Amino acid sequence: MPSKSRRVGNGGRGRPTGVEQAEVRLRTREAILDTALSLYGHSGYSGVTIRALGKEMGLKAPSLYHYFDSKEEMFVCLQQRALTLQEAFMIRDLTDDPVADVDLFFNRYIEFAQAHPEYFTLLYIDPAVPAHCRERAWTDGHKWVRQAGLQLIRRCVEAGRFPRETDGLLVLILLWHAALGAAVILRSAPALVPDRGDTSAIRLLLDGIGAGLLSESVHQSAEAPAMLTSESR
């Protein structure tokens, strides 16, 4: 429990050093975030209060402000933690098949949503989470999605698997929409998805892109998520 971790012994050497104090503070912050995520999973955003956190951890609620300025700051940190976990989940070593690598990249996103439903809901579904929290967490968090996705798509073009005129950003947007839609459906109504139906849309899109079926009209009508199109994100 965090209340115990705040009193870390140092072998009877008297007062803890600055390094030891920093380590204790970091462990306590992580314990608070773990507890906040657990409360969020059970009670949603409104259920995560300073009072509830203090009660759950056996701490006086005001003491939590020594570690986080506000509930919003906790949720920014949780979202940043979620994005780091998502990145580790999605990034894999490249193979000799660039199209299969793109397929795996977006399927791993769907698997992330299934493996970590609280983090996925926090990042992509829950409207109760204040928009400014999500924007702060996403400022740099999704830059790697854009960069990694475009790199994978570029490999497909260079290997001759996608037409040379392929619009990489458009392909990234369409695949992201397909993966996000499948992940949300699996999260909210899994019975509606047939066996491996969660990935069939991605596979169909990849086949169509390889066949050169994307048109200028599709490009003009596709709505790009800001997190994928902004150079600063």
Tell me the residue range of the domain where 202 lies: 78-229
- Cα separation of 156 and 150, whole Å? 10
Q: Within this chain, do residues 129 and 191 fall inside the same structural domain, yes or no?
A: yes
Give a yes or no: residue 73 inside a domain. no
Q: What is the pLDDT of residues 30-83, one digit of tens each?
A: 999 999 999 999 999 999 999 999 999 998 989 999 999 999 999 999 999 999
131 and 53 share a domain?
no
pLDDT for the residue 215: 58
In a domain, 150, yes or no: yes
Condensed to tens digits (0 to 9), the pLDDT of residues 179-226 reads: 999 898 887 766 655 555 556 889 999 999 999 988 544 444 445 455
**Domain match, 57 and 84 both:** no
Domain total in the chain: 2
Is residue 104 domain-shared with residue 206, that is, in the same domain? Answer: yes
CATH number at residue 111: 1.10.357.10
Do 90 and 56 fall into the same domain? no
Give burial (CB, 10 Å; 0-12/13-18/19+) of 121: buried
The CA distances from residue 22 to 17, 28, 81, 137, 217, in Å, are 9, 10, 19, 23, 56
The DSSP H or E segment spanning 106 is helix 98-115
109-152 pLDDT, tens digit per residue, is 999 999 999 999 999 889 998 888 778 777 766 788 889 999 99
24: CATH: 1.10.10.60
Same domain, 107 and 200: yes
Q: Note whether 46 and 155 are same-domain residues.
A: no
Token pair 């990935």 is at which residue? 199
pTM of the model: 0.78
